[in-house]
Amino acid sequence: MVQRQLPNPVELLELMKFKKPELNGRKRRLESALTIGDLRAIAKRRTPKAAFDYTDGGAEGELSLARARQAFEDIEFHPDVLRPAENVDMSCDILGGPSALPFGIAPTGFTRLMQTEGETAGASAAAAAGIPFTLSTLGTSSIETVKAANPHGRNWFQLYVMRQREISYELARRAGEAGFDTLMFTVDTPVAGARLRDKRNGFSIPPQLTVGTIVNAIPRPWWWYDFLTTPKLEFASLSDTGGTVGDLLNAAMDPTISYDDLAVIRSIWPGKIVIKGVQNVEDSKRLVDSGVDGIILSNHGGRQLDRAPIPFRLLPHVVREVGKDATIMVDTGIMNGADIVASVALGAKFTLIGRAYLYGLMAGGRQGVDRAIEILRSEIERTMKLLGVSALGELEPRHVTQLTRLVPAGAPAIDLASVPRN
């Protein structure tokens, strides 16, 4: 029999300890976000459809994007037990300088469109976290503005080689003079990918008011208030700002870029140079032979060639071939700190986040970016502790199994034991 008694008032008072309500709406909604997916949901509620879809979407059927995310979900970790990891060191050296975490902020175009603080929010948040920030050629803040927002931290510059070559060369010179230490030469955009969400939304730069956009804006007055009461949204590095995204990219980019352009850029740039958008082993070898400092395995976030290779799946193959000769990094599909840990275990020296950062920006400006970084940081720390790993250098291929869904016909299995250790 269960013994019953009248409730003790003293015990009831101990249970009735209510949390002090948070009156700051931005802080309240950001504290409620426990994952990058939570930030995405907040961002979707607060951002007009065209701007959100530009960030969230990919090319054509968005198969590359879905497959990249699925690849990170299809992993199995192998923890070591009775291996204390009370204190975890998540710092690393990357391209000649420090980073407090094994990820940096990737280049994103039209960033002030998502939220008016744009690149300055990303750069200042990166400075506070001690990680690199990358400014895009298609950024909406200037090289000098980003430098002012992150005066003592790591700033990288992403370069498109355009039809008017001298524009690109001058941007590289300006970034070098401003103290940016790494140039990220993007090579996977000879022409624009077919971003169908943007076409269906009639998305353009700058945004155009239509019946649809007005109806969509009614429940999001704060975004339009920010948009209409802050400096004009335009490219900080380019003069032509009108048209659809595809129109702008096709007008600016040049499908004739080649190794000759890489040689010119190498002669201009004083710091480290990495190539972004590499998607096979053969190109990785050729680029390393040409003297680049690093390679970023990327399919442009699934925004260019749909059905492109999955960077995370390609990672161990490239690391096995050239990992001892160049810095190998990876992006596309990273939405959890565990994705970053798995990438490092399979040989990546560093990773880059794009959408994850932008979801935070749309959810809450600079504070939202801080929250995105903190979520990933805590996930990395927890994953490493659960694996029994105290430092990034202790992560090895044996800690991760890539489970297979999409297996190329006749493809040989990779021996992960042959992948170089970090």
Angle 311-322/63-73 helices, nearest 10 degrees?
Answer: 70
Residue 321: helix, strand or coil by DSSP?
Answer: helix
Report the alpha-carbon distance of residue 310 to residue 299 in Å, rounded.
7
Residues of the chain with pLDDT under 50: 241
Instruction: Return the closest-CA partner of residue 362 out of 33, 51, 28, 37.
Output: 51
Contact 139, 237 (CB under 8 A): yes
Structure tokens at 119: 């690149």
Q: What is the pLDDT of residue 363?
A: 97
Report the alpha-carbon distance of residue 276 to residue 340 in Å, rounded.
18
Q: What is the pLDDT of residue 286?
A: 97
Residue 191: helix, strand or coil by DSSP?
Answer: coil
Q: Catalytic residues, which ones? A: 300
Name the helix (H) or strand (E) containing 177: helix 165-177
Report the alpha-carbon distance of residue 402 to residue 419 in Å, rounded.
14
Backbone torsion region of residue 274, taken as left when φ is above 0, otherwise alpha when ψ lies between -120 and 50, otherwise beta: beta
Structure tokens at 408: 């190329």
Q: What is the pLDDT of residue 246?
A: 65
Instruction: Return the closest-CA partner of residue 365 out of 179, 213, 222.
Output: 222
Q: Which residues contact 355 (CB under 8 A, 6 or more apart)?
A: 40, 55, 56, 301, 335
- The neighbouring-strand residues paired with 159 are 185
Q: What is the pLDDT of residue 330?
A: 98
Contact 344, 321 (CB under 8 A): no
Q: Which residues contact 10 (CB under 8 A, 6 or more apart)?
A: none
Q: What is the pLDDT of residue 213?
A: 67
CATH numbers and ranges of domains, the chain: 27-199+229-386+395-403 (3.20.20.70)
Contact 335, 72 (CB under 8 A): yes
- Burial label for 418, CB within 10 Å (0-12, 13-18, 19+), is exposed
Structure tokens at 95: 């391209």
- Burial label for 40, CB within 10 Å (0-12, 13-18, 19+), is buried
pTM (predicted TM-score): 0.91
The rounded radius of gyration (Å) of the Cα atoms in the chain is 23
- Burial label for 361, CB within 10 Å (0-12, 13-18, 19+), is buried
